[in-house]
């Protein structure tokens, strides 16, 4: 059976456009890629103890989905997908309630808190076969949800990854801004690919979702993974808003842990720097040894303990730091070898 013999609604669902004589005269393609022009969109939202803002988050995102649907920019099957990362408050109860009242709301509950990166990964892999593209953003509404329109514009133009990049830092403390700047500078200096000022606010296509499923690493650093894939990418700048309620759950400990995951997952430059440092220290020790021997032969020995104790403390501190860095890499290898689950799903609301 030819495509023209199919009912109109079947032709549309399979991506066939209606063809007229004018269409043929213009030599336009007769097949429309609905996955680009009107995709099934999944918005993945990781959340941890967000009972104070989750209702407002759902209200705003549902409003955007319905507006996009009315404009014909996304498919009617588009939905929100919340990932409860082991919340200890009423977040999951609220999501169950909203799942019954709002057809766009779907959710996944993890058995415990596995961390932000694993929660995002769990959501993306869960929507992999249900969406043509997916957008991930935080539940606290600090990521400007209006940027979703721009994300989809870039996607329709052919981008497979669209990075949300902060235009401003919002009310983030200066200390955390400085830490973030140092982190991105360090990653770039060590040769790792990252997008500066890019949080986990991005759009990825189904092609990228399939590729992401091939990454089996336990120590997940999504910002580095996507930046190293090589697919066509674009950038959308957005403003950072203040939290509507509650406090940030991203502590200094989590920030430092994420930074360590980023550095140790995507570059071995620190290990090479250790090797080079060891060579330089050895050359310096040889030079000092020659100096001491020459001084002893001349009878010009420098008295005092400072020249002896100071190098011991300096070298001792360097050794401890180097052992700690090597141990960090060994710890990552240990985690990878065990191949434990990156997350465990407890319940899903469809």
276 with 308, same domain: the answer is yes
297 with 172, same domain: the answer is no
**pLDDT, tens only, 157-196:** 999 999 999 887 666 667 766 766 776 666 666 666 778 8
- The residue behind tokens 């990932």 is 83
240 with 286, same domain: the answer is no
**% of the chain exceeding 70 in pLDDT:** 66
* pLDDT for the residue 303: 63
* pLDDT for the residue 240: 85
Of residues 144 and 9, more confidently modeled: 144
Point out the domain boundary residue: 267, 287, 305: 267
245 with 316, same domain: the answer is no
114 with 162, same domain: the answer is yes
Give burial (CB, 10 Å; 0-12/13-18/19+) of 182.
exposed
Question: How many separate domains does the chain show?
Answer: 2
119 with 204, same domain: the answer is yes
* pLDDT for the residue 191: 62
Residues 6+ positions from 322 with CB-CB distance below 8 Å: 274, 277, 278
- The tokens of 89 are what? 């408050």
Point out the domain boundary residue: 240, 267, 294: 267
213 with 281, same domain: the answer is no
Residue 350, in any domain of the structure: no
Residue 348, in any domain of the structure: no
Is the alpha carbon torsion for 200, 205, 209, 215 positive or negative? Answer: negative
70 with 205, same domain: the answer is yes
Residue 1, in any domain of the structure: no
256 with 295, same domain: the answer is no
263 with 245, same domain: the answer is yes
Question: pTM value?
Answer: 0.71
287 with 297, same domain: the answer is yes
Of residues 287 and 136, more confidently modeled: 136
Range of the domain at 274: 269-338
**pLDDT, tens only, 198-223:** 888 999 999 999 999 998 888 888 88
208 with 328, same domain: the answer is no
- The tokens of 325 are what? 């860095």
Taking residues 319-325, report their average pLDDT: 74
Half-sphere exposure at residue 269, Cβ-oriented, CA atoms within 13 angstroms: 12
């Amino acid at each position: 059976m030819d495509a023209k013999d199919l009912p109109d609604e079947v032709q549309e669902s399979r991506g066939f456009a209606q063809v007229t004589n004018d269409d043929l005269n213009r030599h336009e393609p007769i097949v429309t890629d609905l996955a680009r022009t009107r995709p099934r969109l999944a918005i993945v939202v990781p959340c941890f103890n967000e009972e104070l803002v989750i209702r407002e988050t759902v209200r705003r995102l549902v409003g955007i989905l319905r507006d996009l649907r009315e404009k014909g920019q996304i498919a009617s099957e588009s939905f929100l997908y919340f990932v409860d990362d082991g919340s200890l408050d009423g977040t999951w109860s609220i999501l169950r309630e909203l799942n019954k009242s709002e057809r766009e709301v779907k959710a996944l509950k993890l058995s415990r808190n596995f961390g932000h990166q694993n929660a995002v990964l769990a959501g993306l892999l869960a929507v992999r076969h249900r969406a043509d593209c997916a957008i991930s953003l935080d539940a606290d509404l600090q990521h400007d949800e209006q940027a979703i329109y721009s994300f989809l514009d870039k996607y329709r133009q052919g981008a497979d990854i669209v990075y949300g990049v902060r235009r401003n830092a919002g009310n983030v403390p200066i200390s955390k801004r400085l830490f973030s700047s140092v982190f991105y500078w360090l990653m770039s200096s060590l040769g790792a690919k990252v997008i500066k000022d890019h949080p986990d606010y991005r759009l990825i296509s189904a092609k990228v979702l399939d590729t992401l499923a091939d990454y089996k690493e336990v120590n997940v650093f999504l910002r580095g993974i996507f930046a190293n894939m090589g697919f066509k990418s674009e950038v959308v700048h957005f403003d950072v808003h203040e939290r509507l309620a509650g406090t940030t759950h991203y502590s200094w400990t989590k920030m430092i842990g994420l930074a360590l995951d980023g550095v140790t997952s995507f570059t071995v430059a620190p290990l090479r720097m250790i090797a080079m440092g060891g060579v330089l220290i050895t050359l310096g020790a040889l030079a000092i040894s020659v100096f001491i021997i020459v001084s002893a032969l001349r009878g010009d020995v420098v008295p005092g303990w400072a020249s002896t104790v100071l190098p011991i403390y300096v070298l001792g501190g360097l050794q401890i730091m180097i052992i700690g860095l090597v141990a960090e890499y060994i710890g990552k290898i240990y985690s990878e070898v065990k191949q434990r689950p990156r997350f465990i799903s407890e319940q899903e609301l469809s």
